[in-house]
Each structure stands twice: as C-alpha cells, then as structure tokens.
A and B are shown apart, each in its own frame.
Chain A
Amino acid sequence: MIRFLVKRILLTVPTFIALIFLVFVAIRLVPGDPVEVRVGEHGISPERLALLRHELGLDQPVWKQFLDYLWQLGHGDFGRSLSTSNSVLGEFFTLFPATLELAAAGMLLAVVLGIPMGVVAAVKRGSIFDQGLMGLSVAGYSMPIFWWGLLLIMLVAERWGLAPVSGRLDFVRFDYDTPTGFMLIDSLLSGEDGAFVDALRHLMLPAIVLGTIPLAVIARMTRSSMLEVLSEDYVRTARAKGLSPFRVVGLHALRNALIPVVTVIGLMTGTLLAGAVLTETIFSWPGVGKWLIDAISRRDYPALEGGIILISALVILVNLVVDLVYGVINPRILHGR
C-alpha cells in the first residue's frame, strides 16, 4: 500500500516537468507579451519597452527563462501576478475555495442523483422510466452550458424569483469574515441569521448548471455498467442465497458496477476543478476559472503558469485518490499490484 503510494507520487514528477514546459512554451507562442498588452494602443518608446522587458526578464532567451522559472518553483516561489503584483499563490488560494465549493456541490448533485437513476434504469431496463431517463441524459450531455445557465437565470431567477442571479452572497444584507473561503461554512460560522440559506440559494443554480453534464454521464455510465454486472454469475449466486432484491442490486451488483463509474467521477472532478470557466462567467462566480481567463487576456505569465500548475497538481491528486478508492471498492486491483 505505502509502496504503491510512493510509486504513484514519484511517477507524477516527470509529468509535472513536461507540463510546466508545455505551459511555459505555449503561452510564449501567443502573440504579444505582458508589456505590450499593458501598453495597449498608446504606444511606447523603444527604450522604455526594452527597459520594462528587461525588468521582467523577457529579454532573456526562452530556455534561460524556463530554467530560471524552474529554479524559482523549486524554492516554492510562484512569483507575483504582473497585473496585480499580488503573490500568485495567495491569489490562487483566495479564489480556489469558491471553485472547490462549486465543483463539490455540482459533483455531489451529479453523484447523488446520477447513481440511483442509473441503477433504477438498469433494473427496469426498457421501461418508460429507463427510456425517458436515457433521453434526458442525451439532452443533458449535449446541451450548451451557457444556454442552460442563461435559461435557468431567466426562468428560476428572473421570472420565478426563486434564486439570485449571480455571486456567492447578498453582500448588501450580510457582511462577515470569510476565514475558510467556503461560503457555506463561513455563513454558518458568522452566526448571522439567514446567511447560510442565502449562500445556499446562490450556490443552487451554478451547481445545477455545472452538475448537469456529470449527472448525465454518471447516470448513463451507471446504467450500462449495472446492466453488465446484473447478468454476472455472482449476482445469480446472491439471488440464490435468498437475499432481498435491494441487497442483491444495491450491494452485490452495485459494488462491482461502481468501478468504471468511479473512474468517470474522478476524471470529471478534475475538469470541474480546472475551473468551470463558463459557469463561473455566467454566474459571476469569483473562482479560479474566471481568474485564469483574465490572466490569459492580460498575458499575465506568472499567474497563468502558476495557476495551471496548481490546478494540475490538484487533478493529479484527485486521480491518485480515485486509484486508492478503486482498491477499496475492488480488492483485485490492490492485490494485482
């Protein structure tokens, strides 16, 4: 177990170096550098341009810049944002809880609804419920996120007034410290009346929008995996033991059927963390997705590089956790190693 962990972590080191290199080169291939973007259309004297570039180290050859950056990273220094002069690490972790909260809520919704829906569809295959659900899941999967988000804002928020349009909290009504950055937790800690409900209401629509695609994928995946497992010999054995259908399906079959579903959940959690760019933009959700998009348009090299590296680290971490969860669900995987 420990050996497996150490091996997995060591294997991520080359992945990281390759990743940093890719990000580093790709951003420099985009026309325009931070100085040019900041100068904009006003123009600048060539001497001043050269001076600014020298200050930022942009006059060095790219390989030198890369090595310098690696050296800097090696000391745990992600640098400062060129646009705000704040430390990249600080900015990232100020915004990250918002993204994490949204991703967790969306994923929770998708898992809690998707797995039971898939199981019921598989058990009642061919029924109206099954056909309806699979039709809906195609719709959910292929629906453009921005359209779905706007539709919900128009109907649920505007017409019915059931949820706020944007943001994480009604800052006109509430004002309190946010020590954890997770609005749901902070609102509870604040002790302010109604703050938690308000935070929850703000989270509702973005979570639904973000969770829609994972929900569709998880429901389909669970259904097909379950259909396969239900015809396995060991499910017949479980029935032959005289166990209740609930136990046969919910324990003996589901435990096996979950293995591919967990993979999908892991992969999707990764993409959700990488910033639900569209969802965050539609709902003005102050998370890292929106921050990264801004960093690209400002050619904010340190923010972009740092942000992508941090997110990648998180995605790799999630995948590691998924691998460990496999082992818990299916002992064959751990013993096989």
Chain B
Amino acid sequence: MSLLDIQNLRVRFATRGGAFTAVDGVDLAVDPREIVAVVGESGSGKSVAMLAVMGLLPWTATVEADRMSFDGIDLLGLSAKARRRIIGRDIAMIFQEPMSSLNPCFTVGFQIREMLKAHTGLDRAGRQARAIELLAKVGIPEPERRLKSYPHQMSGGMSQRVMIAMAISCDPKLLIADEPTTALDVTIQAQILDLLAQLQRDTGMGLVLITHDMGVVAEVAHRVLVQYAGRPVETNGAEALFADRHHPYTEALLAALPERASARRLPAIPGVVPGQFDRPKACVFSPRCRFAFDLCREVAPTPAGPELGRALCHIPLVDGVPTPVRAEAYRLRQGVPA
C-alpha cells in the first residue's frame, strides 16, 4: 500500500479576479522507502500540491481530490485537530528559504525541543538529549553549543540542517522537501542533498522532493512527476525518464540543464508558465512547445498509457520524435482529412 496516495487533486484559490486553479488533477503515490521528485518551473503548482497535503494552504484555497490518504488515513475528512497530530510527527516538511523558515526570536534548541514536546512523551532531559543527537545526525559540529544559537547566527546551509533535524525529530514516515537546496550555495546544495538521501536510506522514510533542477532529480530520485501549470504532464521511473522523455516539456526541462549546453548561449524554454488569466484552453504547454500543431491549440490532450509515461500530450515523444498515438492526431499531423 502506498504511504501517500493522491488521486485527482485540485486546488483552487479565490482571488479578486475569480477562481484560480493552481493544481488541476494531480495524481501522486509515494511508497515507503521511495524518493519521488516533483519537477516543474516556478508557478507549476508543485508546492501548492504539497502544502495541500500538509493542510497549510491559506483559507482562500479550496482543496478537492478523489482520494488523499496518508498511511491509510483519509486526509480530506480529517478535523484540523486530528491533522495536527499527524503533521510534524508522521509527515514533516522543510522549505526553500531555511534562513527565514526558522523563527528569529527563539534558539535553535527551543524550536527543536518544541517539536518533540508537541509529539513525543519525552521529558525535559530526554528532549535535550534527543535534540543534541539530532543536530549531530545532520552533521552540525558542537551540537550542544549550537542548540543555544539563534537562527541569525547561522549560515543558510546550517539553518537547512537545523530544519532537517527538526523535521526528522519524530521519525516521520514521509518527508516533503520543498526546493530544499534552491536558496543555498552550489557547494552546500550537494551536501544537503546527500544528507537528505542518506537520512532517507537510514530511516526508510518516504521522501517527496520538490525541485526544478533536473540534475537533483537525476542524482537521487526513484520516481519523477513532472508538473506544468498545475497539471501532471509526465510521470515515470527515474531511470525510464532519463532514458527517454515522452512529454515535450520534460524534454525541454532536461535540455535546459546548463551542463548539457553545447552552444555559446544557454538553452532555455521560451516564454513563461501561464498565470491565472492566460492559461491556454487546450494543451497548457502548446504556446511554448516546439512540436505544437493545430490540434494542440484546440483540443485538450488526455494522458497516454504508462508505457509513455502518462504523457499529457497528443503526440508523445519516443526517442525525441513526436509519435501520434491516436488516429485523429495522426491524420491531423499528416494533413490527411478525416
């Protein structure tokens, strides 16, 4: 059974300009001991989907899903109080900006011990001992002294380690890491990523890694969900995905890795993720897709089969070549009248 099972998740925000659908029909399953990467540019609704799982969205958001369960517990029907018992203890989350994610008014030790106090029966001495143990575990030297530090006395990498220590303090079954390395120096990024991967191996927890960095995905992920403009556009095992991308967006993301650049100019995907008012009617990626044709602008695609990574595309790529899988698409592509 999956640890986290989400089917057809939809998140809408009430805005002045009307309802805005930030997440539209996302399916995600995470097994124990599995690292799933959720990939996409800024604005593709990756964080929103995960914040919906945590119940951390503002009141303007409406969360709907056919199914959203964790460890057999239905998260949708859960009262706020019951959810708070799970959040932090069984599902923990770390964020993009470690420096601003820690409260500047309290010592690191206080913030870690507070988590232990909320979810475990440890006494004062037990909490202190556990906090020291946790800091040592995430590779912070002189943990006992560091517990007395305030967040502003630490670097970004150090702060993220503290956030990780706090997140794993109650041995969660699932850790959600929302772009945990984006705000850090490149050298530190690798360290934090290694730490997360190592902790995941040691504890056997599930790990959802939200990122826009395909390099990060290649390094640690077992499975990948590619999201674009709130929609899941491709999902596949990491190996299969890196062997062959079926959605043009995934292909473009990978091509945009600086390491793969051969020309003088770095490759980029032209345009930006559509916002609230400029979402295309049919295929959301069509305005930026180099393979798009008439059909893509008129009819919304349906997901392809699992062998094609459930690519949300009329003409999923196979070995980089658009392959019409449905007769209608094929005819249009070939210019043959129906």
Taking beta carbons and an 8 Å cutoff, which residues of A are in contact with B?
232-234, 236-244, 252, 255-256, 329-332, 335
Known: A329-B105, A335-B153. A240 touches B56 (CB 8 A): yes
Residue B137 lies at the interface, judged by CB distance under 8 Å to chain A: no
Q: Which residues of chain B are within 8 angstroms of A256 by Cβ–Cβ distance?
A: 103-105
Contact of B89 among A234, A238, A242, A255 (CB under 8 A): A242
In contact, A240 and B153 (Cβ under 8 angstroms): no
In contact, A240 and B105 (Cβ under 8 angstroms): no
Q: Which residues of chain A are within 8 angstroms of B86 by Cβ–Cβ distance?
A: 242
Interface size on B, residues (CB 8 A): 29
**How far apart are the CA atoms of A242 and B83 in the complex, in Å?**
8
Q: Which residues of chain A are within 8 angstroms of B166 by Cβ–Cβ distance?
A: 241
**How far apart are the CA atoms of A243 and B153 in the complex, in Å?**
25
Residue B19 lies at the interface, judged by CB distance under 8 Å to chain A: no
Residue of B nearest to A329 (CB): B105
In contact, A240 and B88 (Cβ under 8 angstroms): yes
Known: A240-B92, A243-B118, A332-B150. A234 touches B104 (CB 8 A): yes
In contact, B150 and A234 (Cβ under 8 angstroms): no
Residue of B nearest to A245 (CB): B80
Residue of B nearest to A231 (CB): B58
In contact, A240 and B54 (Cβ under 8 angstroms): yes
* Selected A-B contacts with CB under 8 Å, 18 pairs: A233-B95, A233-B97, A234-B100, A236-B56, A236-B95, A237-B95, A240-B87, A240-B95, A241-B88, A242-B85, A242-B88, A242-B118, A244-B84, A252-B103, A255-B103, A330-B104, A331-B105, A331-B152
In contact, A241 and B114 (Cβ under 8 angstroms): yes
Residue B101 lies at the interface, judged by CB distance under 8 Å to chain A: yes
Residue B33 lies at the interface, judged by CB distance under 8 Å to chain A: no
Given contacts A240-B88, A256-B104, A331-B104, 14 further A-B contacts (CB under 8 A): A233-B100, A237-B95, A237-B101, A239-B87, A240-B54, A240-B56, A240-B87, A241-B115, A242-B87, A243-B84, A252-B103, A252-B106, A256-B103, A335-B150
B246 to chain A, nearest CB (A): 34
B180 to chain A, nearest CB (A): 13
Instruction: Give 1 or 0 for each of B23-50: 1 = CB within 8 Å of chain A CB.
Output: 0000000000000000000000000000
In the complex, chain B residues 96-137 whose Cβ is within 8 Å of any chain A Cβ: 97, 100-106, 114-115, 118-119
Contact of B93 among A240, A244, A330, A331 (CB under 8 A): A240
**How far apart are the CA atoms of A228 and B218 in the complex, in Å?**
38
In contact, B103 and A241 (Cβ under 8 angstroms): no
B73 to chain A, nearest CB (A): 14
B105 to chain A, nearest CB (A): 4
**How far apart are the CA atoms of A256 and B150 in the complex, in Å?**
14
Q: Which residues of chain A are within 8 angstroms of B101 by Cβ–Cβ distance?
A: 233-234, 236-237
Residue of B nearest to A236 (CB): B56
Residue of A nearest to B98 (CB): A233
Greatest chain B CB density within 10 A among A238, A240, A255, A332 is at A240
In contact, B102 and A237 (Cβ under 8 angstroms): yes
Q: Which residues of chain B are within 8 angstroms of A242 by Cβ–Cβ distance?
A: 83-89, 118-119
- A-B CB proximity, top 4 nearest: A242-B88, A242-B87, A234-B103, A233-B100
